[in-house]
Amino acid sequence: MCASETHTGSKALARMEVVEGDITRMAVDAIVNAANSSLLGGGGVDGAIHRAAGPELLAECRTLGGCPTGEARITGAYRLPATYVIHTVGPVWQGGDRGEAELLAACYHNSLEQARQKGVRTIAFPAISCGVYRYPVMEAARIAVREVREFLERHALPETVYLVCFGPEVCRAYRRALEEIQEGR
């Protein structure tokens, strides 16, 4: 287990918090969905988000015509406590030499950019690609923390980014990644 929140040192890092829990319950302006490229629902966090949002979410997703890996699309959040869902498609881990790191970084960057354009102040991310897509969790955590920090250094919005861990392994990885970045490693 890890503490419910992790506050960090520098200015951009102080706007990033690690929380353990279910992203569908977060009352933030936007939650990010680790979707598949059809945007028509799936298992894991995607299934949980669609179940909690209700069928209107799927109806809106059908109008979007899918989303390529690394990109992001924004919809309403319907019955969720959030205002928006930002759907992004993480890479499937294939050993690391198929551009997975760049694609995962793009998911974070493009989701944050979609959020910024809507004036989103608070946003919650799941550990994109760390479930069915099998991305090594520690490597994914380093990419998440680095991309989010870079974005926050350049932009005032979103104000706060929650990295939501579903279980202690992801939580530990985020905490370690934050420590490494704080120590300049």
Residues that bind ligand ADP (CB under 6 A): 22-24, 34, 44-46, 48, 90, 126-133, 164, 166-167, 170
Name the token pair of 25. 């319950």
Is 46 annotated in the active site? yes
Identity of the residue, 45 or 115, whose beta carbon is nearer to ligand ADP in the bound complex: 45
Q: Which residue has the tokens 């894991």?
A: 44
Query: Virtual CA dihedral for 148, 4, 8, 16, nearest 10 degrees?
Result: 20
Per the document, the length of the chain is 185
Nearer to ligand ADP, 135 or 151 (CB): 135
| Nearest-approach distance from CB 65 to ligand ADP, in angstroms | 20
Closest CB to ligand ADP among 12 and 140?
140
CB of 137 to ligand ADP, least distance (A): 7
CB of 132 to ligand ADP, least distance (A): 4
Provide the minimum distance between the beta carbon of 131 and ligand ADP in the complex, in angstroms, as a whole number: 2
Those residues with Cβ within 8 angstroms of residue 157's Cβ, 6 or more apart along the chain or in another chain:
115, 116, 119, 120, 121
Q: Which is nearer to ligand ADP, 40 or 155 (CB)?
A: 40
What is the torsion angle, in degrees rounded to the nearest 10, for the CA atoms of residue 131, residue 81, residue 113 and residue 9?
-80
As given in the structure block, the two tokens for residue 61 are: 């997703």
The residue to which tokens 């890890």 are assigned: 2
Catalytic residue among 22, 29, 46, 97: 46
Catalytic residues: 46
